[in-house]
Chains A and B, each alone.
Chain A
Amino acid sequence: DVKVTQSSRYLVKRTGEKVFLECVQDMDHENMFWYRQDPGLGLRLIYFSYDVKMKEKGDIPEGYSVSREKKERFSLILESASTNQTSMYLCASSEPNREKLFFGSGTQLSVL
């Protein structure tokens, strides 16, 4: 089975801190995604990557950046965390056809 691992289940950070969320997948998938999940808003795409060093903005990229130096690892970076970035962050991976996304268990980030 595909495994998508997110490094932290819970994270508490202070306003203005630089925050790194890490995601690793073990199935050699080309596509990787970062979503944030908020009650009543569902999943919103922040960034995705379709290859190493390739990235594209999703629907809500403001305040975020990403890094994909290796195929299996996709990092989400909050350059200067703000309270409105308190959320559940979900990483996912898929093959190019996106017929099936495999999700990590999420990181609940609280920015105080």
Chain B
Amino acid sequence: AQSVTQLDSQVPVFEEAPVELRCNYSSSVSVYLFWYVQYPNQGLQLLLKYLSGSTLVESINGFEAEFNKSQTSFHLRKPSVHISDTAEYFCAVINTGFQKLVFGTGTRLLVSP
């Protein structure tokens, strides 16, 4: 079975500052990793995913995440955040057989001017 830990329930940050949202996972088998984002009053949408290849993956709006197998982590980073990045971010993991997607508890990113 897989599990996901997002230790930070809330991360406040000022506009244009860098941010890192932490995600650690546990699994006895190989996994794929995802970050989903939920903007206020909306459903979740896929931000980025790691399936194979380069361990550094990027989204179209400037976020990036790096798969670190030795540390079982998939932290999400952005060098300079905008007010519009205010949202809740969920890390998720699935085994490579695509059997069950497991979500973390979410991190609320609060960007203030």
Contacts and interface: CB of A to CB of B under 8 A. Distances in A.
Interface string B90-106: 10001000101101111
Interface string A1-22: 0001000000000000000000
A41 B105 contact: yes
A100 B49 contact: yes
Contacts of B51: 99
B41 A105 contact: yes
Contacts of B103: 35, 42-43
* Interface residues of A, dominant DSSP: loop
Given A4-B43, A42-B90, A90-B44, A101 B101 contact: yes
Q: How large is the interface on A (under 10, 10 to 19, 20 to 34, 35 or more residues)?
A: 20 to 34
Q: How large is the interface on B (under 10, 10 to 19, 20 to 34, 35 or more residues)?
A: 20 to 34
B43 A104 contact: yes
Given A43-B103, A103-B45, A105-B41, A98 B90 contact: no
Given A42-B104, A98-B94, A100-B46, 10 more contacts: A40-B105, A42-B106, A43-B103, A45-B101, A90-B43, A97-B98, A99-B32, A100-B49, A102-B45, A103-B45
Interface of B: 6, 9, 32, 36, 41-46, 49, 51, 90, 94, 98, 100-101, 103-106
